[in-house]
Amino acid sequence: MNTPVPPEQYSPPQPAEVSNVPPPPWPIRICSTATASKWTDVASDEDANSLDEVSKIRQENRRRTKLDLSAVLGSEQLVVLIGLGPSAAIGGPKMSDLWRQVRDKDLAQFVDIQKKVGDNTPLAETGDIESLLSKCQALTNIPVGADPIVNTFIGEAEKIITKACQDFIGAADLSDHEHLVRILARRTQGKPRTRVFTTNYDLCVEQAAAASGVIIVDGFGRESPPIFDGANFDIDFVRRRMESKGSEFVESVLHLAKLHGSVDWSLHDNKVVRKERPEVPIIIYPRSDKFELTYRQPFLEMMSQLQSALRQPNIGLLIIGFGFADVHLSEMILSAVKRNLSMRVVVATLGCEQHCDPANAWMYRKKIHLLEQLISQGDSRITLISSNFPDLVRLVPDSGTETEEDKLRSVLRKLIT
């Protein structure tokens, strides 16, 4: 049995020397009925001069991938679920990072907590932060003899997680987020607004939208400070010109629902308000009671919005950087895929192929594997893409997504800031 290394025998790993050699690229791979349900390589860029047979096949796969993405984006209803991947691609903390930050805050306390909850992860290795906090939470719920030290540890760990999700964005390059947001926000007149859902606490989507001139409808009102009310999701924006008697919908608007809360949500007078860096943000932290917490407001409203969106006819569902580890969301998505026969689905996440492999115990995700099985049974509605976020953004069709007005606005914004 593995046992934790005593803290006196352990020192946190020192940062490695910075290398000028970039890491090897993660190949883009695709699986769909068009590839005979097999995983196959996709060209990493457009190369019209490729003459060898392998390059031609990869270019054809790239064309197919873009066509599948275009079909989803062109659906009558467009729903996008954004997971950890896009934030991690620009320096956001991964679960392994959160484990190390919580561990290194106080090694002696961490070892003590591991003993109390029965976690056997060696101190020099990376464990499952969600499992650890779940075990801690279970200890605090016992009717008698609850250990106050465990409660203290949970509070400190949650502060570390919040800070990690707040701090990275200051130095992050949001250009890929901005490009994606512009694409998602521009919809043909008459089609409903894109509905974006995210499990992330950070403000990547909000800041990318602000930099791109995109208006966010997120359930918060226009008060100061803004107050959350689910009815605000029914609000839209129209433009009324002096010379016209009618009105027209404002371009570049999208809906945003944050399923697990946000680093800028706070509770004030029993109301959820938006506030910069609140002391105790309203967040569903990574632990096993996530499912139960989604039945409380404002999370219940967010989940209701997602469930309603997935039931709409002629829906395109684009899932980006989500590994299907959250069971309450994975079950809802898979159920919608099976029941809503007019739905088209593209799942694009790093390591998607490995998530489909039952032999890979660390990366295997049953729900993605079930989607792969549907493809093997001839379900042409589903496309699986193994890709990092930057490569995916370059695959998303951007024809007509940036007008001259957008370009001018972008230039002016850079000059002003």
Average pLDDT estimate for 383-405:
80
68-123: pLDDT as tens digits: 999 999 999 999 999 999 999 999 999 999 999 999 999 999 999 999 999 999 98
Instruction: Pull the structure tokens for residue 376.
Output: 């093997």
Q: What percent of the chain has pLDDT over 90?
A: 63
What is the CATH code for 28-91+173-416?
3.40.50.1220
Let me know the angle formed at the C-alpha of 211 by 236 and 285, rounded to the nearest 5 degrees: 80
Q: How confident is the model at residue 152 (pLDDT cuts 50, 70, 90)?
A: very high
pLDDT of residue 146: 66
Q: Is the pTM of this model over 0.75?
A: yes
**Three-state DSSP string of 366-407:** HHHHHHHHHHHCCCCCEEEEECCHHHHHHHCCCCCCCCHHHH
Residue 18 is predicted with a pLDDT of 46
Pinpoint the residues of the chain covered by CATH 3.40.50.1220.
Answer: 28-91+173-416
pLDDT at 400: 47
Give per-residue pLDDT as tens, 56-72: 889 999 999 999 999 99
Query: Which residue's structure tokens are 């109301």?
Result: 271
| CB neighbour class for 254 (10 Å; exposed up to 12, middle 13-18, buried from 19) | buried
